[in-house]
Amino acid sequence: MPADERQPHFVQTGDEPIFTGQGTGELRCRCGQSVLVRGYDPSNFLGIDLRCAQCGSVTTTAGLSALNRPPEQVVPMDRTAAAPPAGSTVASDQVLAGREELERLMELYRARAPASDRLTVSDAFLDAIAADYDRLSGGLLADHLAAVAASEATRPLTGYRPYPLAWAIHTLRAVMRSPDWSCTATPPASVATTVAGAFRYFLDCWSHHPLFPAMAATAADSGFSLHGAALFATAKCLADSGNRVGFVAPRDGSGRLRQFALAMGDGVPLTCAMDVFDRYEWPLGEDWRGANLYERLVDRLPATKGQINLRHPGMIVLSPGATWEQMEQPLVDAIHDTFHSHGRRYRHVTAISVILAKVLPTPAADTVRFGYSFYPVPNPRQSAIEVKVADVPGAPTGRR
């Protein structure tokens, strides 16, 4: 074998095909003398090298196109240059993938890390996110900014809910006109910085992904709010902790992503679904200090039953949005209480988590550190599934 030729994954040793699949075609060697796979379906063989017994040449099956759905169950293949057992068959839902192709797919579909956790608010930064907003919203930025300006002129802060990112851009441009401005000097400045940071983080982590158009459409539906980014921030946090995270193309024709899956060791994917828990969100939400968070959580448990149920167990991720730092621990305590009382009844809910975008001031008035705090609480009544979670340090919210 020449030094620059890679060893094949499998070799043919006689006249019989190396594999028999469930497809309708045949994979033939280019010499025309051998059928390498009978019942060939290209989606079952990704980047696999097969050596012909007749001429010795190697045929490589195609990889996965970025436009195709990523496979959900993959069997990694090493270059053994061995003959598989006689009569080897490949089931219709089985995908054999060469490790090089699998690594390419993992790089293509995994979240990427931002270059830095530092976020500097400047005219150039706001111009950049405004251009991205306009592009991803289909040219609606000017209309949204006009609506925000009109609402802010008569009822300050009311533009935040319908157009959060447009409101953030509008607010920060106004804040920056003050000579002694700071990203975290006031609640509006802090929230606006957080919303802008979440949008930038979303783009940095996911804009390379083949499903990014669907991700962007999902986030755009909420005006690129903290809630719109929360699903994708959760996936990034879980992936950083060593979990295998996968988004799949929506099948309902909406072009929107409402959940993602964790690939578990037993092959059964664990669904992760977002629940917008905005009852106490700044600036017009209820006062959480006078609320029974436990009762509110119990009321929310059935909300995701269309996505998480006995047939599809999974994790509920709460997105409180822009909220108060002091609320975080009581909310986590309420989740523990909810599972203590109702964990057995809702045993298909493997965990309830909280995702919060945060900014941390720095000595520079125009710069913050941006990141997420992720608090997963497992259901003690559901011990069959384990999700890997790294410790995520908390950080001040910069909000009142």
Residue finishing a domain among 86, 109, 132: 109
Is residue 294 domain-shared with residue 156, that is, in the same domain? yes
For residue 4, pLDDT beyond 50:
no
Distance CA 42, CA 62 (A): 7
Please indicate, yes or no, whether residues 105 and 138 belong to a single structural domain of this protein: no
Residue 139 lies in a domain: yes
Q: Is residue 386 scored above 60 in pLDDT?
A: no
- Same domain for 59 and 190, yes or no, is no
Are residue 352 and residue 275 in the same domain, yes or no? yes
What pLDDT, in 10s, does the model give residues 140-174? 999 999 999 999 999 999 999 999 999 999 999 99
Q: Which amino acid is at 144?
A: H
Same domain, 188 and 297: yes
- The position carrying tokens 């319908």 is 162
Q: What are phi and psi of 122, to 5 degrees?
A: -145, 170
On whether residue 194 sits in a domain, the answer given is: yes
Domain check: are 102 and 138 in the same one?
no
In a domain, 87, yes or no: yes
Check whether residue 49 and residue 168 sit in a common domain. Answer: no
Confidence of residue 267 (pLDDT cuts 50, 70, 90): low
Amino acid at 127: D
Q: What is the pLDDT at residue 264?
A: 59
* Residue 208 shares a structural domain with residue 330: yes
Residue-wise pLDDT tens digits, 185-227 = 999 999 999 999 999 999 999 999 989 999 999 999 999 999 9
Number of domain units in the chain: 2
Tell me the residue range of the domain where 80 lies: 10-109
pLDDT at 67: 65
282 and 260: one domain? yes
How confident is the model at residue 396, as a pLDDT?
A: 30
Q: Is 79 inside a domain boundary?
A: yes
Are 145 and 83 within one domain?
Answer: no
Q: Which two tokens mark 53?
A: 């017994």
For residues 85 and 216, state if they share a domain. Answer: no
Q: What is the pLDDT of residues 276-294, one digit of tens each?
A: 999 999 998 998 888 899 9
Same domain, residue pair 281 and 353: yes
Q: What is the pLDDT of residue 108?
A: 84
How large is the average pLDDT for residues 131-146?
Answer: 97
Q: Among 72, 90, 109, give the residue marking a domain's end.
A: 109
Copy the structure tokens of residue 284.
């017009």
d(CA 244, CA 110): 9
